[in-house]
Chains A and B, each alone.
Chain A
Amino acid sequence: MQRLRRGLLCAFVIVAAAIVLGMVFNLVRPAGIPFVGDWSPKALTELHAGDLEVIHLDDAFEVFSKGQALFIDAREPGAYTGGHIPNSVNITPEQAAERLEEVRSMLKTGRILIAYCYDVDCPLSAELVKKLRELGLGTIKVMPEGWMGWMDKGYPYE
């Protein structure tokens, strides 16, 4: 019991020291982050997509309705099989290189290529588009709202 009591006291001191050290270090270091972060959908989109071209849900649906869109589902095959945007193709970030030609031919159709994954928290579609860009394909957009956003709007799926 005495050991536990002594442990509690030491633990309290260590935690207090860690909090102070962490905050001070965060303030002075160049890589410091805000004490309260911005985790809004807008901030998350910027975080994942960075300088990639983003197309938001309603715009994407408009392009889709005109038959000018081709979707790439960047989620794992299991999620894709469970339901996806009509005529979308399932390509995960890991498959970027091996399915390069497929994407190239999709681009040649002249339609707008839009990658999506689960929701705004999900980085997979941005990862995929970044990989494809590194491989030389540059005009694929990211729809940050993803599958969840699409479903919430009640848009068609298959």
Chain B
Amino acid sequence: MNEQGYVKKGFIDAKLVQVILSAARVVLGALFLYAGAIKIMDPAAFALAVYNYHILPAGLVNMTAITLPWVEFIAGACLVLGLWIPGGALIVSCLLMVFTVALGFNLSRGLDIACGCFSTSPVAEKITWWYLLRDSSLLAATLLVMFADHGRYSLERVLRVRLGRNP
């Protein structure tokens, strides 16, 4: 094990486990890369979405809409490429926690249902609970990546080998 803690012995270091973790990392990264990109493309629409959550003070809505998609985008890129994996995974897990809490909070206070602004049909409601489940599953996967993906299949490792450092 080197000072980065990237090479360890045991079950987690088994090749198959590392391949699965890397695949999960790339999928998670791609999701956030995509989520960030579509929000970057239409900042006004995303600002309205943030406003509609009624969680942030109105003065902070636009700043959030301007910066949050870039956090998602860069963290997603880190995970896809395998650069700064712990950092990218930490950000993605924090974001997922915030999203899950915001979603759950608005579900519990019945904002959607009272407002009717985002469809209150039974089908849509199911989808909303499904979103909560989905976010929690993604969070679990991200935490696994954060603690157990040793970056064996990452750009960072490739660079280390190229630079002649201890992989």
Q: Using a CB–CB distance below 8 Å, which chain A residues touch chain B?
A: 2-4, 6-11, 13-15, 17-19, 21-23, 25-26, 31-37, 39, 47, 75-76, 78-79, 117-119, 121-124
Contacts and interface: CB of A to CB of B under 8 A. Distances in A.
A9 B117 CA distance: 40
B105 interface: no
B61 A121 contact: no
B89 to A, nearest CB: 7
A14 B75 contact: yes
B106 interface: no
Contacts of A119: 115
Contacts of B117: 117-118, 121-124
Nearest to B50: A37
Contact of B66 (A14, A26, A75): A26
Contact of A7 (B47, B59, B89): B89
Given A18-B71, A47-B48, A124-B117, A10 B66 contact: no
B70 interface: yes
B100 interface: no
A40 to B, nearest CB: 8
A122 B115 CA distance: 7
Interface of B: 4-5, 40, 42-44, 47-48, 51-52, 58-59, 61-63, 65-71, 73-75, 78, 84, 86-91, 94, 113-117, 119-121, 146-147
Contacts of B63: 35-36
B87 A76 contact: no
B111 to A, nearest CB: 10
Given A6-B4, A7-B86, A18-B73, A33 B66 contact: yes
Given A6-B4, A7-B146, A121-B115, A33 B91 contact: no
A7 B83 CA distance: 11
A143 to B, nearest CB: 15
B contact face: mostly helix, strand, loop, or mixed = helix
16 contacts: A6-B4, A8-B87, A11-B75, A14-B74, A14-B84, A14-B91, A22-B67, A26-B43, A33-B44, A35-B63, A36-B59, A36-B62, A39-B58, A76-B116, A76-B121, A79-B114
B87 A78 contact: no
Contacts of A37: 47, 51, 58, 61-62
A77 to B, nearest CB: 9
B146 A39 contact: no
A33 B71 contact: no
A117 B119 CA distance: 12
Contacts of A31: 42-44
A11 B61 contact: no
Given A7-B89, A19-B67, A79-B120, A33 B62 contact: yes
Given A11-B91, A76-B120, A122-B116, A35 B66 contact: yes
B62 A34 contact: yes
